[in-house]
């Protein structure tokens, strides 16, 4: 937009030109002296100077901005390439998908909370069962002269209580020694014979256990 001063200059110049044109067309040049017009060059220069002083926004076109952005990206790639070359870095290209990490399988030992001594009688056979918290070695010693059966368990961390038996066993007692052995002493009602003895692994609801089958001799 033109400023007020520029409009005034243009108005003065155009008015002077109109006065000069009217005077020259209606009056004789012999009898009347023409009015001196405003110099046209001064008016043009003044208008040009005013137009140059006006604020004009001239944003860069889209093509110029895109070109500038591409130049900056090229400079960045060049800088990265120089850094890789200086420190000996090499790009790593992987095509294989990483294998999923699986948690290692944990093997847990079966630990039963049920411990104790129990008996069963069937067809003249007396079965002695000792429930254990875990697997352990055991030995047996049958003494028919003294009429007792000794069972030694290689563990002292057992919650076994003395009690009354069934079948060929009258009573039994528990003795824990300082040498790491638990002894179960079973008092027999008569002469007996061991026909089966075995340590069993957990099965179903039953945990670790040992059993001894006795019959009358």
Tell me, yes or no, whether 111 lies in a domain: no
Q: What is the pLDDT of residue 107?
A: 45
Q: What is the pLDDT of residue 208?
A: 92
* Domain enclosing residue 206, as ranges: 116-216
User: What is the distance between the alpha carbons of residues 153 and 169, in angstroms, rounded to a whole number?
Assistant: 19
Tell me, yes or no, whether 67 lies in a domain: no
Please give, one letter per residue, the 3-state secondary structure of 131-146: ECCCCCCEEEEEECCC
Tell me, yes or no, whether 76 lies in a domain: no
Tell me, yes or no, whether 17 lies in a domain: yes
Tell me, yes or no, whether 97 lies in a domain: no
Q: Are residues 131 and 39 in the same domain?
A: no
Angle at 185 between CA 207 and CA 191, to 5 degrees: 110
Q: What is the pLDDT of residue 92?
A: 58
CATH number at residue 177: 2.60.40.3500
pTM beyond 0.75, yes or no? no
Q: Are residues 132 and 206 in the same domain?
A: yes
Q: Are residues 130 and 209 in the same domain?
A: yes
Distances 12 to 9, 22, 42, 53, 142 between C-alpha atoms, Å = 5, 15, 11, 20, 144
Q: Are residues 207 and 132 in the same domain?
A: yes
Q: What is the pLDDT of residue 93?
A: 59
Indicate the number of domains in the chain: 2
Q: What is the pLDDT of residue 187?
A: 97
Tell me, yes or no, whether 126 lies in a domain: yes
- The set of residues, in sequence order, having a beta carbon less than 8 Å from that of 83 and lying 6+ positions away, is 89
**Digits of tens for pLDDT over the chain (217 positions)?**
444 444 444 445 544 545 444 444 444 444 555 544 544 555 456 555 655 555 555 556 777 777 888 888 888 777 777 777 777 766 655 566 667 777 665 544 545 556 789 999 999 999 999 999 889 899 999 999 999 999 999 876 777 889 999 999 999 999 887 777 899 999 999 999 999 999 999 988 889 999 999 999 8
Tell me, yes or no, whether 73 lies in a domain: no
Tell me, yes or no, whether 104 lies in a domain: no
Residue 179: both structure tokens together? 């040498």
Q: What is the pLDDT of residue 96?
A: 66
Distances 146 to 44, 129, 142, 187 between C-alpha atoms, Å = 145, 22, 9, 9
């Amino acid at each position: 937009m033109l400023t007020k001063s520029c409009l005034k200059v243009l108005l003065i110049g155009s008015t002077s030109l109109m006065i000069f044109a009217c005077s020259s067309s209606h009056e004789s040049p012999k009898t009347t002296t023409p009015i001196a017009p405003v110099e046209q060059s001064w008016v043009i220069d003044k208008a040009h100077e005013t137009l140059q002083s006006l604020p004009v926004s001239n944003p860069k076109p889209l093509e110029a901005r895109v070109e500038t952005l591409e130049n900056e990206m090229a400079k960045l790639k060049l800088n990265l390439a120089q850094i890789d070359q200086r420190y000996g870095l090499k790009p790593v290209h992987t095509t294989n998908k990483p294998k999923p990490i699986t948690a290692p399988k944990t093997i847990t030992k079966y630990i039963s909370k049920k411990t104790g001594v129990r008996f069963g009688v069937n067809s003249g056979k007396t079965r002695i069962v000792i429930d254990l918290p875990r697997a352990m070695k055991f030995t047996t010693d049958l003494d028919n002269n003294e009429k007792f059966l000794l069972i030694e368990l290689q563990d002292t961390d057992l919650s076994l209580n003395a009690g009354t038996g069934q079948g060929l066993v009258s009573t039994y007692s528990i003795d824990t020694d300082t040498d790491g052995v638990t002894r179960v002493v079973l008092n027999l009602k008569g002469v007996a014979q061991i026909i089966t003895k075995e340590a069993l692994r957990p099965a179903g609801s039953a945990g670790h256990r040992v059993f001894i089958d006795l019959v009358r001799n």
